[in-house]
A = this chain, B = another copy of it.
Amino acid sequence: MANVNEAFLKLKNDYLFSTILEKKNEFLSKNPKKKVISLGVGDVTLPLVPSVIDAMHKATEEMAKKETFQGYGLVQGYDFLIEKIIKYEYEKRGVSIDKSEVFVAAGSKGDLSGIAELFSKDSIVALMDPVYPAYRDTNIMLGRDNIKYLETNAENGFIPEIPHEHMDIIYLCSPNNPTGTVLNKEELTKWVEYARENNSVILYDSVYEAFITGDKIPHSIYEIDHAKEVAIEFRSYSKLAGFTGVRCSFVVIPNELNVYTKDKNKIQLNKLWFRRQSTKFGAAAYITQKAAEAIYTEKGQKEIYENIKYYKENAKYMKQELEKIGFTIYGGEHSPYLWLKTPNNMKSWDFFDKLLNEAAVLGTPGVGFGKCGEGYFRLTAFSSKEDTKEAVYRIVNLNFK
């Protein structure tokens, strides 16, 4: 009898974004003429930039000719892209990364969930609360029940404190989804020190890195001394270049990063990931990698950062207008996310329902990210300027008394 992996049955049924979609559809079926503005799911809305479009057309033409056709790609990705990643994402920040340390793939969801497979089942996993739900679910699917939540809240400014207990795997997300907060050099240094002392591994999700303003906040965890011994960094083109429908990401696994056998022998995680990818992943598409490469020119950089600026202006506008009427807001400065304290201690889902039903604005209830998110609400800056203004106008005119 084929038995189910019972770990999957421990997952909660209500996947946050499916519930939101259902509520939206219910609203629309009752109010077919209303225009719902979505500041919910963190999906981009601006089209791909011209440099990327040109590269995709060119790569398509290469695929049309026998002489330039590309079949199976290399597991880690093409050198042309890896070399650009090293130059543009790391060298310019004084970080030295070897080609063997970069793994190009088809989206951070697959990377983040895949890496978790490499650790032993009984690993102690540290997650922040609130947290991006896929971190939790992927660990539950692997049968882990040693999941510890590090609470972030108004008291600590949604910046996690260093745990007093031992943790094996630590998920850090900065700029943070959902709270929009960032870890500065001092905070990151504390985490790297903690991980070195505990032989822990930090899974550093910085897919929103492009939203960091200026150079004071580290753009890579490897700007911190010794981070290469303990941290894996996850990056994505989804928010950097609007690739949510194109699918490209990369992971850096430093060669000096080790995990341990029960007998305390060191195992290079980089080699293990290569082996895992060889068996379970079929490389990112050639056209996709050519599209990603295209952002690494002067013109490409200018174009993508103009789009990022557009979204950041949305965030700034929302923050400013909502603060004016008395909202307490985290994030929105180095991040496309605003994390609102709901007025009068409204429950997250009540606030969601009010915004949807009275303003036709869709956001994400904070409690969907964990119990510390109760009483909070996430808004994204990824809508158009016009829709963002209209949504703010609608919210500002609601009665919260």
Residue A245 at the chain B interface, CB threshold 8 Å: yes
Bound Cα distance from A201 to B4, whole angstroms: 11
Contact of B247 with A283 in the complex, beta carbons under 8 Å: yes
Instruction: List A residues 315-352 near B (Cβ within 8 Å).
Output: none
A residues 42-81 with Cβ under 8 Å of B? 43-48, 50, 53, 56-57, 60-61, 63-66, 69-73
Nearest chain B residue, comparing its CB with the CB of A122: B3
Residue from A6, A53, A106, A278 having most chain B Cβ neighbours under 10 A: A106
- The answer to the question of A223 belonging to the interface, with a C-beta cut-off of 8 Å to chain B, is no
Binds B, one of A93-101, A152-160, A255-263: A255-263
B117 close to A141 (CB less than 8 A): yes
Residue A301 interfacial (CB < 8 Å): no
Question: Which residues in chain A, 134-173, are within 8 Å of chain B measured between CB atoms?
Answer: 134, 137-138, 141, 168-169
Tell me the nearest residue of chain B to A284, going by C-beta: B247
Say yes or no: is A305 at the interface (Cβ < 8 Å to chain B): no
List the B side residues contacting A168 at CB < 8 Å: 1-3
Taking beta carbons and an 8 Å cutoff, which residues of A are in contact with B?
A: 1-6, 8-9, 11, 15, 18, 41, 43-48, 50, 53, 56-57, 60-61, 63-66, 69-73, 106-110, 113-114, 117-123, 133-134, 137-138, 141, 168-169, 198-201, 242, 244-247, 259-262, 264, 267, 269, 272, 275-276, 278-288, 384
The smallest C-beta distance from A250 to any residue of chain B, in angstroms, reads: 14
Q: Are B109 and A4 in contact (CB under 8 A)?
A: no
Closest-CB distance, A257 to chain B (whole angstroms):
9
| Closest B residue by C-beta to A63 | B48
Is A110 touching B282 in the complex (CB atoms < 8 A)?
yes
Residues of the B chain whose Cβ atoms lie less than 8 Å from the Cβ of A138: 279-280
- In the bound complex, what is the Cα–Cα distance between A281 and B57 (angstroms)? 26
- Residues of B contacting A288 in the complex (Cβ-Cβ under 8 angstroms): 285
The reply to whether B53 and A8 contact each other, CB–CB distance below 8 Å, is: no
In the complex, chain B residues whose CB is within 8 Å of the CB of A269: 4
Work out how many copies of this chain go into the complex: 2
Cα A123 to Cα B288 in complex, Å, equals 37
Instruction: List 18 contacting pairs A-B, 8 Å CB cutoff, sorted by A.
Output: A1-B168, A2-B169, A2-B200, A3-B119, A3-B120, A3-B259, A4-B269, A8-B272, A47-B65, A48-B63, A106-B282, A134-B280, A141-B280, A245-B283, A245-B286, A247-B282, A247-B285, A285-B288
With A4-B272, A56-B60, A260-B4 in contact, do A71 and B244 touch (Cβ < 8 Å)?
A: yes
- A65: which B residues are within 8 A, CB to CB? 47
Partner of A56, one of B106, B117, B287: B287
Contacts A259-B3, A260-B3, A286-B245: A278 and B15 contacting too (C-beta < 8 A)? Answer: yes
Beyond A3-B120, A109-B282: 11 further Cβ-contacts under 8 Å? A2-B123, A2-B259, A3-B261, A5-B121, A41-B72, A53-B60, A53-B64, A106-B106, A113-B279, A114-B280, A287-B287
Nearest Cβ distance between residue A5 and chain B, in whole angstroms? 5
From B46, B57, B261, A6 is in contact (CB under 8 Å) with B261
Q: Is the CB of A72 within 8 A of B245?
A: yes
Indicate whether A259 sits within 8 Å of B4 (C-beta atoms), given known contacts A109-B281, A247-B282. Answer: yes
A307 CB to closest chain B CB (Å) equals 11
A57 to B60, CA, bound (A): 7
